[in-house]
Structure 1
């Protein structure tokens, strides 16, 4: 599927709202996939269509550049209380100070959207209403990543690619997805 964020977001929203609640009385959309593939763009388009949705970017939940392996545990600790109708919490990573920052509270909501690499761990598959996988070719991804994070962060690219590949292989995320989206440069 070629990039058209608004129509893709409409598809995601329609499919999600047609499904029964999976996160307590609410629904959970996980927009997972590869770095620089367009997950954030899709999540923003979804938020425009569903302004009451809570959208969380998982980049803020990573313990630095090598924190991807621990993300699933962080998210499960956030989601399990929400599934029971209680508030969940997560800690924000302060990228500038290179340490953990504030603890954030999320109250049960009708629609929670998690977007980011590793947002759809198999450990809480039972809580996911719709798992969306977003991908793009590596050159497009690198160009987007450098535009977003800057040339100074290029040194982290190789490690990140290795970590995301290992995570997605272990989690088998792409094959568990309900919807596959391939983005391309406009």
Structure 2
């Protein structure tokens, strides 16, 4: 963890994400389905993973919810778009058709696919990751979330989380996120948009 002072107040971030969870839970109740699909998008360090894990912990429906993080799917540092395509083809589309989806975890250490994981179409599903909200995936989701956060705060949080592993790749990944935001306009596809300090 970085010893530099934080540019963002952790309490303010936590409060923002808490408000987001409350509103997502209300949106899930309005869907009135036993297996809703929630997509959570935002640029690196915006709070997607924390939001998704908190939502799982506070899941409002009976039974369990499945969580897939695109960090487990992207095939390397140049793989944002390909990871989203894999999620659409192997997870979201089968789920929408009532079929079992199967995806493979990307092993970042060795740079190749690893074990397979199944996704049960009868269970609710949360997919979180940069790039996940596109015109093609939006049609397959019931609740679509975009987190908007300032670049300096996001970078500080992301590098505090992932340290020197991420630092050399920050700009490379940010360029891919920029392409996604420019091309897909995920904020306009979201049913809920939350500012995160």
- Return the TM-score normalized by structure 2: 0.85
Q: Is the Cα contact below 8 Å between 2:74 and 2:84 reproduced in 1?
A: no
Aligned residue-pair number: 180
Q: Which residue of 2 aligns with 1:139?
A: 152
Q: How many Å separate the matches in 1 of 2:55 and 2:122?
A: 15
Q: Which residue of 1 aligns with 2:102?
A: 89
Q: Quote how far apart the aligned CAs of 1:16 are.
A: 1.8
Q: Are 1:11 and 2:20 matched, yes or no?
A: no
Q: How does 1:24-35 map to 2 (within 5 A)?
A: 26-35=35-44
Q: Is the Cα contact below 8 Å between 1:10 and 1:49 reproduced in 2?
A: no
Q: Are 1:116 and 2:129 matched, yes or no?
A: yes
Gaps of 5+ in 2: 1-11
Q: How does 1:49-128 map to 2 (within 5 A)?
A: 49-50=58-59, 52-77=64-89, 78-128=91-141
Q: Is the Cα contact below 8 Å between 2:37 and 2:126 reproduced in 1?
A: yes
Q: Which residue of 1 aligns with 2:169?
A: 156
Q: Quote how far apart the aligned CAs of 1:103 are.
A: 1.8
Partner of residue 44 from structure 1, selected from 50, 53, 69: 53
Gaps of 5+ in 1: none
Q: Quote how far apart the aligned CAs of 1:20 are.
A: 4.9
Q: Quote how far apart the aligned CAs of 1:15 are.
A: 0.6
4+ long deviations beyond 6 Å: none
- Secondary structure at the counterpart of residue 134 of structure 1: strand
- Secondary structure at the counterpart of residue 139 of structure 2: helix
Q: CA RMSD in A?
A: 1.6
- Return the TM-score normalized by structure 1: 0.90
